[in-house]
Structure 1
Amino acid sequence: MCAACNRPFEWRKKWERHWDQVRWCSDACRSGRVNVLNRNLEAE
């Protein structure tokens, strides 16, 4: 689950060596650009 938007995400080859450290689903979430509307939509 993404730490910013709570969306689930799947394993990716490029994260293979660091899967336990992956916290965000995208660069937008990592930089904190996810807005309140997206969080509300995901909560429903």
Structure 2
Amino acid sequence: MPSPAKRDLPTKICVACGRPFAWRKKWARCWEQVRYCSQRCRSDRDSQRR
């Protein structure tokens, strides 16, 4: 069974940069907790809190 087309994957908006990003296989178990599109956005957000 082929994987779904990219346009059919669920998306979210990154809380740091505001850009949309799509589901990734590595996030299959934790998609509900994912808030950032990349490690860079996660680290930038953490540095802004301080």
TM-score of the alignment, normalized to the shorter chain, above 0.5: yes
Q: Which runs of 5+ in 2 are unaligned?
A: 1-12, 46-50
Amino-acid identity (%): 67
Q: Which runs of 5+ in 1 are unaligned?
A: 34-44
Q: Which has the higher contact order (CA 8 A, sep 6+)?
A: 1
Specify the structure having the higher radius of gyration (Cα): 2
Note the aligned Cα RMSD (angstroms): 1.2
Structure with greater helix share of residues: 1
Structure with greater strand share of residues: 2
Runs of 4+ displaced beyond 2 Å: none
TM-score, L = length of structure 1: 0.70
TM-score, L = length of structure 2: 0.62
The count of residues paired between Structure 1 and Structure 2 equals 33
